[in-house]
Every structure is written in C-alpha cells, then in structure tokens.
Amino acid sequence: MPALHPDIDRILIAEDQIQKRVAEIAAEIDRDYQEVDQVVLIGILKGAFIFTADLSRKMTVPHSVDFMAISSYGDLASSDGAVRLILDLRKPITNQHVIVVEDIVDTGHTMNYLYQTLMGRSPASLKTCTLFKKKRDSLDVPLDYIGFELPDVWVVGYGLDYADKHRTLPYVAALKKEVYS
C-alpha cells in the first residue's frame, strides 16, 4: 500500500466501504421514489461532486442532476455560520421531487440554509442526503439519508477537501490536527 500523505493521520473509511454504502443509499432512494416519475438530485459543489456522481450512477429511478455551489468556510476549518450562494440551479424546482446531496454535515448551517432556500421554491417534496455527519449536536434540520457518522475531526477524500487539497483520494481520512488547528 502506498505511503499516506504526510498531512494525513489515518484512514477512517476505506474505498470499498464507501462504495458499498453509496449503493445502499441508492437502493433506499430507489425504493422510496418508486411511485415518482422523476427526481431531481441537487449536488452541492464542490465537496459532493464525487458522491453525487456515484449515487446518480447507482440509482435506477429516473432522475436529473443539477448543482449548486455554496461557500461557508473559505479555506479555514472553522465556521461562523455564514453561508453564501455561489452558483444557483439551472432550472426551477417548482413541483419537482428534490433530493439535496451533501458531502458532510457538521454544524448543520449549510444544510439548514439549503433546506430553507429550496423549500422557498415550492418543490413537490424535498429530502436531504449526506454521506457523512459529524457526531455533534447539529442544527435542527431533517436528514433523510445519512451514510456514515464520523468523529469531530477534519476529514478529506472522496470529494472532501482541506484548502482544496486531497479531494481525489478514494477513501476518507482524518487530517493531522496540527494541519488544521
């Protein structure tokens, strides 16, 4: 096995575990949306681009994919709760069955912002999906599909970054504390 990058402390979730869980979530969504003709997956850039692509390819229910880009932290591993919309959807979601796809929920500020913003556009239904959730008291935002719970450390890989680095690692790893604190 190749040596880990020096910024990385340890691997938390291996590639095959991620792929297995993504397939399970896709199967759950397929079951829940059997009766629906069309779903809209909204991937949240940049962190959820890989998860959204893999989830979409594993889902069999008819769906389209759109993206929004959100910025909350800049390059820092700390949140003041301010969320900015950087890029909006191509198409309106009025009367559509929407699933928001996030990489990770930490404080919940980002998902809460997304939920409120998208609810304001009168979709037929709105569910939330996140691959990772940190184990802490999050804001009161409903999470319908959760991949894995993680300890409260900064993680990278499978789309997640630190200062735009490490996104393309196939696994999810904890950064060394001294790198981000």
Where on the chain is the footprint of ligand IMP (CB under 6 A)? 47, 72-73, 79, 102-111, 154-155, 160-161
Strands 84-87, 125-134: pairing kind: unpaired
Minimum CB–partner distance for residue 142 and ligand IMP (Å): 14
Q: How far apart are CA 53 and CA 36, in angstroms?
A: 21
Q: Give how many residues touch Mg ion by CB under 5 A.
A: 1
* CA neighbor of 175 nearest in space, from 160, 148, 156: 156
Give the amino acid at 59.
Answer: M
- Say which entry of ligand IMP, Mg ion, none residue 107 contacts (CB below 5 to 8 A, set by partner kind): ligand IMP
CA 19 to centroid of chain Cα atoms: 14
Helices (H), the chain: 15-32, 49-58, 109-119, 177-180
Residue 176: other Cβ atoms inside 10 A? 16
Q: Which is nearer to ligand IMP, 43 or 108 (CB)?
A: 108
Q: Which is nearer to ligand IMP, 59 or 160 (CB)?
A: 160
Q: Does 43 bind Mg ion (CB under 5 A)?
A: no
Minimum CB–partner distance for residue 91 and ligand IMP (Å): 22
Cβ distance 31 to 59 under 8 Å?
no
Q: Does 157 bind Mg ion (CB under 5 A)?
A: no
Residue 148 pairs in a beta bridge with 132
Catalytic option among 66, 106, 161, 164: 106
137 noted as active-site residue: no
Q: Which is nearer to ligand IMP, 22 or 111 (CB)?
A: 111
Region near Mg ion per CB under 5 A, out of 34-42, 46-54, 115-123, 125-133:
46-54
- Both structure tokens of 110: 């980002």
Q: Does 159 bind Mg ion (CB under 5 A)?
A: no
For the annotated catalytic residues, the residue numbers are: 106
Site for Mg ion, rule CB under 5 A: 47
